[in-house]
Structure 1
Amino acid sequence: MCDQGSAALEFILVGLLLLVPLVYLVLALGSIQGQSLGAEAGARHAARAIATAADARDASERTDRVIGSVIDEYGLDPDAVEVSLECRPAAAGCPAAGATVVVTVRTTVTLPFVPSVLGLDRIASIPVEATAVQKVSRVWGSG
Protein backbone atom coordinates (compact mmCIF):
# COMPACT_ATOMS: atom_id res chain seq x y z
CA MET A 1 0.00 0.00 0.00
CA CYS A 2 1.21 3.39 -0.86
CA ASP A 3 0.06 6.50 0.97
CA GLN A 4 -0.27 9.33 -1.39
CA GLY A 5 -0.80 12.69 0.19
CA SER A 6 0.56 16.12 -0.07
CA ALA A 7 2.62 16.73 3.02
CA ALA A 8 3.43 20.24 1.85
CA LEU A 9 -0.24 21.15 1.69
CA GLU A 10 -0.90 19.67 5.13
CA PHE A 11 2.11 21.49 6.54
CA ILE A 12 0.94 24.84 5.12
CA LEU A 13 -2.63 24.34 6.35
CA VAL A 14 -1.60 23.36 9.88
CA GLY A 15 1.07 26.08 9.89
CA LEU A 16 -1.49 28.74 9.02
CA LEU A 17 -3.96 27.46 11.58
CA LEU A 18 -1.31 27.78 14.27
CA LEU A 19 0.51 30.85 13.00
CA VAL A 20 -2.41 33.27 12.55
CA PRO A 21 -3.63 33.08 16.18
CA LEU A 22 -0.04 33.26 17.41
CA VAL A 23 0.65 36.43 15.39
CA TYR A 24 -2.61 37.99 16.65
CA LEU A 25 -1.68 37.13 20.22
CA VAL A 26 1.70 38.81 19.81
CA LEU A 27 0.05 41.94 18.34
CA ALA A 28 -2.57 42.09 21.09
CA LEU A 29 -0.07 41.58 23.90
CA GLY A 30 2.28 44.16 22.38
CA SER A 31 -0.53 46.70 22.24
CA ILE A 32 -1.54 46.01 25.83
CA GLN A 33 2.07 46.20 27.03
CA GLY A 34 2.64 49.52 25.23
CA GLN A 35 -0.46 51.07 26.75
CA SER A 36 0.47 49.70 30.19
CA LEU A 37 3.90 51.28 29.95
CA GLY A 38 2.29 54.56 28.89
CA ALA A 39 -0.10 54.56 31.84
CA GLU A 40 2.73 53.71 34.24
CA ALA A 41 4.99 56.43 32.83
CA GLY A 42 2.16 58.96 33.00
CA ALA A 43 1.39 58.19 36.64
CA ARG A 44 5.04 58.16 37.71
CA HIS A 45 6.03 61.37 35.92
CA ALA A 46 2.86 63.21 36.95
CA ALA A 47 3.42 62.33 40.61
CA ARG A 48 7.01 63.50 40.37
CA ALA A 49 5.97 66.72 38.61
CA ILE A 50 3.43 67.48 41.34
CA ALA A 51 5.86 66.77 44.17
CA THR A 52 8.59 68.99 42.70
CA ALA A 53 6.31 71.88 41.67
CA ALA A 54 6.47 75.24 43.40
CA ASP A 55 2.74 75.54 44.12
CA ALA A 56 -0.67 74.14 43.16
CA ARG A 57 -0.97 76.13 39.92
CA ASP A 58 2.50 75.04 38.82
CA ALA A 59 1.66 71.44 39.74
CA SER A 60 -1.50 71.54 37.61
CA GLU A 61 0.33 72.98 34.60
CA ARG A 62 3.17 70.49 34.91
CA THR A 63 0.76 67.56 35.23
CA ASP A 64 -1.13 68.62 32.10
CA ARG A 65 2.13 68.91 30.14
CA VAL A 66 3.39 65.54 31.38
CA ILE A 67 0.15 63.71 30.62
CA GLY A 68 -0.06 65.34 27.18
CA SER A 69 3.51 64.31 26.44
CA VAL A 70 2.90 60.72 27.56
CA ILE A 71 -0.26 60.51 25.47
CA ASP A 72 1.70 61.61 22.39
CA GLU A 73 4.73 59.43 23.11
CA TYR A 74 2.87 56.18 23.80
CA GLY A 75 -0.01 56.71 21.38
CA LEU A 76 -2.71 56.66 24.05
CA ASP A 77 -6.25 57.67 23.17
CA PRO A 78 -6.70 61.14 24.77
CA ASP A 79 -10.43 60.54 25.25
CA ALA A 80 -9.82 57.26 27.11
CA VAL A 81 -7.18 58.56 29.54
CA GLU A 82 -8.38 59.45 33.03
CA VAL A 83 -6.08 60.92 35.67
CA SER A 84 -7.04 61.03 39.34
CA LEU A 85 -5.17 62.66 42.19
CA GLU A 86 -5.47 61.81 45.86
CA CYS A 87 -3.57 62.98 48.93
CA ARG A 88 -2.83 60.97 52.04
CA PRO A 89 -3.63 62.02 54.66
CA ALA A 90 -6.64 63.73 53.14
CA ALA A 91 -6.16 67.49 53.20
CA ALA A 92 -8.37 70.43 52.37
CA GLY A 93 -6.19 71.27 49.41
CA CYS A 94 -4.58 68.54 47.37
CA PRO A 95 -1.64 68.59 46.81
CA ALA A 96 -0.50 69.90 50.16
CA ALA A 97 2.83 70.26 51.96
CA GLY A 98 3.94 67.04 53.63
CA ALA A 99 1.24 64.93 52.01
CA THR A 100 1.73 61.79 49.99
CA VAL A 101 0.39 62.27 46.47
CA VAL A 102 -1.21 59.25 44.78
CA VAL A 103 -1.67 59.65 41.02
CA THR A 104 -3.69 57.05 39.12
CA VAL A 105 -3.86 56.91 35.32
CA ARG A 106 -6.57 54.78 33.70
CA THR A 107 -7.06 54.00 30.04
CA THR A 108 -8.51 51.28 27.84
CA VAL A 109 -6.78 49.27 25.14
CA THR A 110 -8.82 48.21 22.14
CA LEU A 111 -7.66 44.93 20.69
CA PRO A 112 -6.20 45.18 17.16
CA PHE A 113 -8.39 44.60 14.09
CA VAL A 114 -11.65 44.73 16.06
CA PRO A 115 -14.24 46.67 14.05
CA SER A 116 -16.38 49.34 15.63
CA VAL A 117 -19.52 47.74 14.19
CA LEU A 118 -22.20 47.19 16.85
CA GLY A 119 -19.87 48.45 19.56
CA LEU A 120 -17.48 45.52 19.28
CA ASP A 121 -14.52 47.82 19.89
CA ARG A 122 -15.94 48.74 23.31
CA ILE A 123 -16.58 45.11 24.18
CA ALA A 124 -13.10 44.03 23.08
CA SER A 125 -11.25 46.64 25.14
CA ILE A 126 -9.08 45.96 28.15
CA PRO A 127 -8.83 48.43 31.05
CA VAL A 128 -5.32 49.41 32.10
CA GLU A 129 -4.49 51.26 35.32
CA ALA A 130 -1.26 52.47 36.87
CA THR A 131 -0.65 54.19 40.19
CA ALA A 132 2.36 56.14 41.45
CA VAL A 133 3.04 57.58 44.90
CA GLN A 134 5.30 60.53 45.69
CA LYS A 135 5.98 62.38 48.94
CA VAL A 136 5.55 66.16 48.80
CA SER A 137 8.07 68.32 50.67
CA ARG A 138 6.98 69.80 54.00
CA VAL A 139 7.94 73.25 52.69
CA TRP A 140 6.00 72.80 49.43
CA GLY A 141 4.19 75.93 48.27
CA SER A 142 5.84 78.26 50.76
CA GLY A 143 8.48 79.47 48.30
Structure 2
Amino acid sequence: MLRSRLSSDEGSASLEFLTVGMILLVPLVYLVIAMAAIQGGALAVEGAARQAARVAVQAVDAGAADAAVQRAVFVALDDYGIDVDAASVSVSCAPSGDCLAPGERVRVSVTASVTLPLVPDVLALHQAASVPLEASATQTVSRFGAGSGP
Protein backbone atom coordinates (compact mmCIF):
# COMPACT_ATOMS: atom_id res chain seq x y z
CA MET A 1 0.00 0.00 0.00
CA LEU A 2 2.83 2.41 0.81
CA ARG A 3 4.50 1.59 -2.49
CA SER A 4 1.38 2.42 -4.51
CA ARG A 5 1.00 5.71 -2.67
CA LEU A 6 4.56 6.81 -3.46
CA SER A 7 4.30 5.92 -7.13
CA SER A 8 0.98 7.65 -7.77
CA ASP A 9 0.81 10.96 -9.64
CA GLU A 10 -1.69 12.64 -7.34
CA GLY A 11 -0.74 16.21 -6.42
CA SER A 12 2.16 16.51 -8.87
CA ALA A 13 0.24 18.65 -11.40
CA SER A 14 0.45 21.74 -9.23
CA LEU A 15 4.17 21.22 -8.72
CA GLU A 16 4.72 20.77 -12.44
CA PHE A 17 2.65 23.86 -13.19
CA LEU A 18 4.65 25.96 -10.74
CA THR A 19 7.98 24.69 -12.06
CA VAL A 20 7.18 25.19 -15.73
CA GLY A 21 5.44 28.48 -14.95
CA MET A 22 8.51 29.86 -13.21
CA ILE A 23 10.84 28.62 -15.93
CA LEU A 24 8.78 30.42 -18.56
CA LEU A 25 7.58 33.41 -16.55
CA VAL A 26 10.91 34.72 -15.22
CA PRO A 27 12.58 35.11 -18.66
CA LEU A 28 9.41 36.60 -20.09
CA VAL A 29 9.20 39.23 -17.35
CA TYR A 30 12.90 40.05 -17.80
CA LEU A 31 12.39 40.39 -21.56
CA VAL A 32 9.55 42.86 -21.01
CA ILE A 33 11.65 44.89 -18.56
CA ALA A 34 14.67 44.89 -20.90
CA MET A 35 12.60 45.92 -23.91
CA ALA A 36 11.02 48.73 -21.89
CA ALA A 37 14.49 50.00 -20.95
CA ILE A 38 15.65 49.88 -24.57
CA GLN A 39 12.50 51.62 -25.81
CA GLY A 40 12.89 54.31 -23.16
CA GLY A 41 16.48 54.83 -24.27
CA ALA A 42 15.44 55.06 -27.90
CA LEU A 43 12.85 57.68 -27.05
CA ALA A 44 15.41 59.60 -25.00
CA VAL A 45 18.04 59.66 -27.75
CA GLU A 46 15.52 60.61 -30.44
CA GLY A 47 14.01 63.36 -28.30
CA ALA A 48 17.44 64.70 -27.39
CA ALA A 49 18.51 64.90 -31.04
CA ARG A 50 15.28 66.56 -32.12
CA GLN A 51 15.31 69.15 -29.35
CA ALA A 52 19.03 69.86 -29.79
CA ALA A 53 18.51 70.52 -33.51
CA ARG A 54 15.63 72.88 -32.72
CA VAL A 55 17.64 74.97 -30.28
CA ALA A 56 20.73 74.95 -32.52
CA VAL A 57 18.94 76.70 -35.39
CA GLN A 58 17.48 79.36 -33.08
CA ALA A 59 20.79 80.41 -31.48
CA VAL A 60 22.23 83.86 -32.10
CA ASP A 61 25.92 82.85 -32.09
CA ALA A 62 28.08 79.72 -32.15
CA GLY A 63 28.80 79.74 -28.40
CA ALA A 64 25.13 80.00 -27.53
CA ALA A 65 24.32 77.23 -30.01
CA ASP A 66 26.86 74.84 -28.46
CA ALA A 67 25.66 75.58 -24.94
CA ALA A 68 22.01 75.20 -25.93
CA VAL A 69 22.67 71.88 -27.70
CA GLN A 70 24.56 70.47 -24.70
CA ARG A 71 21.85 71.64 -22.30
CA ALA A 72 19.04 70.19 -24.44
CA VAL A 73 20.78 66.82 -24.71
CA PHE A 74 21.56 66.77 -20.99
CA VAL A 75 17.96 67.50 -19.99
CA ALA A 76 16.42 65.02 -22.45
CA LEU A 77 18.72 62.13 -21.51
CA ASP A 78 18.55 62.89 -17.80
CA ASP A 79 14.74 62.77 -17.92
CA TYR A 80 14.97 59.14 -19.03
CA GLY A 81 17.78 58.18 -16.65
CA ILE A 82 20.40 57.74 -19.39
CA ASP A 83 24.03 58.35 -18.38
CA VAL A 84 24.80 61.75 -19.88
CA ASP A 85 28.58 61.38 -19.49
CA ALA A 86 28.60 58.33 -21.77
CA ALA A 87 26.57 60.06 -24.50
CA SER A 88 28.13 61.82 -27.45
CA VAL A 89 26.74 64.64 -29.58
CA SER A 90 27.85 65.75 -33.02
CA VAL A 91 26.61 68.77 -34.96
CA SER A 92 27.13 69.18 -38.69
CA CYS A 93 25.96 71.85 -41.11
CA ALA A 94 25.33 71.77 -44.84
CA PRO A 95 25.76 73.10 -47.48
CA SER A 96 28.16 75.92 -46.50
CA GLY A 97 29.26 74.77 -43.03
CA ASP A 98 28.14 77.98 -41.30
CA CYS A 99 25.52 76.71 -38.84
CA LEU A 100 23.97 80.15 -38.35
CA ALA A 101 23.53 81.11 -42.01
CA PRO A 102 19.93 81.43 -43.23
CA GLY A 103 18.78 78.31 -45.07
CA GLU A 104 21.54 76.17 -43.53
CA ARG A 105 20.57 72.63 -42.56
CA VAL A 106 21.81 71.68 -39.09
CA ARG A 107 22.05 67.97 -38.32
CA VAL A 108 22.48 66.82 -34.72
CA SER A 109 23.38 63.20 -33.95
CA VAL A 110 23.17 61.80 -30.41
CA THR A 111 24.68 58.45 -29.43
CA ALA A 112 24.10 56.82 -26.05
CA SER A 113 24.24 53.39 -24.52
CA VAL A 114 21.48 51.77 -22.46
CA THR A 115 22.55 49.18 -19.90
CA LEU A 116 20.21 46.23 -19.56
CA PRO A 117 18.48 46.06 -16.17
CA LEU A 118 19.58 43.73 -13.38
CA VAL A 119 23.06 43.17 -14.84
CA PRO A 120 25.63 43.07 -12.03
CA ASP A 121 28.76 45.23 -12.05
CA VAL A 122 30.93 42.13 -11.56
CA LEU A 123 33.68 41.82 -14.18
CA ALA A 124 32.34 44.86 -16.06
CA LEU A 125 29.37 42.92 -17.41
CA HIS A 126 27.28 46.09 -17.51
CA GLN A 127 29.48 47.34 -20.36
CA ALA A 128 29.03 44.16 -22.38
CA ALA A 129 25.31 44.04 -21.65
CA SER A 130 24.47 47.45 -23.06
CA VAL A 131 22.67 48.44 -26.21
CA PRO A 132 24.09 51.34 -28.25
CA LEU A 133 21.47 53.74 -29.60
CA GLU A 134 21.84 56.56 -32.08
CA ALA A 135 19.42 59.15 -33.42
CA SER A 136 19.77 62.21 -35.57
CA ALA A 137 17.56 65.16 -36.42
CA THR A 138 17.83 67.89 -39.03
CA GLN A 139 16.44 71.41 -38.85
CA THR A 140 16.79 74.36 -41.20
CA VAL A 141 17.85 77.80 -40.04
CA SER A 142 15.15 80.35 -40.77
CA ARG A 143 15.73 82.25 -44.00
CA PHE A 144 14.88 85.44 -42.16
CA GLY A 145 18.08 85.21 -40.13
CA ALA A 146 19.63 83.24 -37.30
CA GLY A 147 17.88 83.48 -33.98
CA SER A 148 14.65 84.79 -35.45
CA GLY A 149 12.75 81.60 -34.62
CA PRO A 150 10.34 79.58 -36.76
TM-score, normalised by the number of residues in structure 1: 0.89
Query: Where does residue 50 of structure 2 map in the other structure?
Result: 44
What are the within-5 Å matches in structure 2 for residues 48-127 of structure 1? 48-91=54-97, 93-127=98-132
1:140 and 2:145 are equivalent in the alignment: yes
Q: Distance between the aligned counterparts of 2:124 and 2:29, measured in 1? A: 24
Change (3 A) 1:38 1:142: closer
Q: In the alignment, is the contact (CA less than 8 A) between 1:47 and 1:132 conserved in 2?
A: yes
TM-score, normalised by the number of residues in structure 2: 0.85
After alignment, is 15-24 or 57-66 more displaced?
Answer: 57-66
Q: In the alignment, is the contact (CA less than 8 A) between 1:56 and 1:141 conserved in 2?
A: no
Q: Secondary structure at the match of 1:138?
A: coil
Q: In the alignment, is the contact (CA less than 8 A) between 1:106 and 1:129 conserved in 2?
A: yes
What are the within-5 Å matches in structure 2 for residues 15-30 of structure 1? 15-30=21-36
CA RMSD of aligned residues (A): 2.0
Task: Give % identity.
Answer: 49
What is the CA distance between 1:39 and its match in structure 2? 0.3
Q: Distance between the aligned counterparts of 1:121 and 1:101, measured in 2? A: 34
Q: Distance between the aligned counterparts of 1:61 and 1:117, measured in 2? A: 36
Q: In the alignment, is the contact (CA less than 8 A) between 2:99 and 2:105 conserved in 1?
A: no
Q: In the alignment, is the contact (CA less than 8 A) between 2:57 and 2:142 conserved in 1?
A: yes
Q: Distance between the aligned counterparts of 2:21 and 2:66, measured in 1? A: 53
Paired residues, number: 142
